[in-house]
Amino acid sequence: MNKLLKVLLAGLLLAAPALQAQIEINENLTISGFLDMSLVNTDSERTGLEDTSYNLDQAEIDFIFNFDELTGQVDLNYLGDNGTDEFDLEQAFLNWDFGDGSSIDAGKYRSYLGFEAFEPTGLYQYSTAYDIIDLRPGHHNGVRYNYTDDFVSFGLSLVDSVFAPDGSIEDSNYGVEAKIALFPVDGLTIQLGAARDSMGNTLADRDLINFWASYEIENMTYAVELSQYDFGVENFGRNEGSQWLLMANMGITDNFGITGRVSEDTQDFKGGDTATKFTISPNWTIHDNLGMLLEISETDYGSEGTDRMIAFETIFTF
């Protein structure tokens, strides 16, 4: 099966340069995907280490099925550092559209929470904002209800677990996510989300509250995010903390833009730890299917020192 996927991916990549977006196989099936490659240099005062690496970070093939009110999606994902040389199932779910803004998803799907996208194709820069803990829950197995109209979007999801590896949904061990997003004016999105992992009798529950807002006007995009988390008892202390970010992206020309971001990750655990990150990232499009960006970031860990990173990334989409 893995050999077949490799052959399929190679064929799609040969066909993709002449295409602008999804590849339509027939009226019921389209395919899209991307290749993500990077050259990264890191220099850490905390560890005294410097490293330069070049990687194929990720390759993904997405199959989108459309049968009127019933649709489905299957995403196959390869991570360059997973050591298996195989595609893994990232998500696979069915969606039933009731036609009045309501729908139900069932299967393995992506979380509601977090401003920054889970895929590199949705990020404004190479790195994510927070260097102590990544609160983006990723993908879960479960079922969820969605409602969307021009003013509001609402979602409620019951899953096996929000943060832990996949498991079964039981009376005392399950996860819940909810979100409400408002679109009061053109270009403005305001979202409040929450998640809880019910860990049963042996572990404390894990809670996350996530708020973000973005505003797109002309050639500018602004964003703000605030998160608060409490992951209960860990090593005889409370593992809780907060995160925030401010971001602005300016489209200078049709093919060139620049992103600036300031973010902070504070963990109130074992005396506390704070990482403040400053990021600048010019980006440009050189082809309808190929984008590139440069990122320069510095993360200040206070008395522990700073980490510096320079990254060059290319993303090929089809």
Q: Which amino acid is at 278?
A: F
What is residue 33's predicted lDDT score, i.e. its pLDDT?
A: 94
Q: What residue numbers bound the domain in which 47 lies?
A: 2-317
Q: What whole-number distance in Å separates Cα of residue 284 and Cα of residue 42? A: 23
What is residue 151's predicted lDDT score, i.e. its pLDDT?
A: 96
What is residue 203's predicted lDDT score, i.e. its pLDDT?
A: 66
Within 8 A by CB and 6+ apart from 100, the residues are none
Answer yes or no: are the C-beta atoms of 10 and 40 closer than 8 Å: no
Per-residue pLDDT of the chain (318 residues; tens, 9 = 90+): 455 455 445 444 444 443 345 788 888 999 999 999 999 999 999 888 999 999 999 999 999 999 999 999 999 998 876 555 677 889 999 999 999 999 999 999 999 999 999 999 999 999 999 998 889 988 889 999 999 999 999 999 999 888 876 555 555 678 999 999 999 999 999 999 999 988 666 667 889 999 999 999 999 999 999 999 988 765 445 578 999 999 999 999 999 999 999 999 998 765 568 999 999 999 999 998 999 999 999 999 988 889 999 999 999 999
What is residue 63's predicted lDDT score, i.e. its pLDDT?
A: 96
> Across-strand partners of 17?
none
| Count of structural domains within the chain | 1
CATH number of domain containing 104: 2.40.160.10
pTM passes above 0.85: yes
Identify the CA nearest to 100 among candidates 166, 50, 147: 147
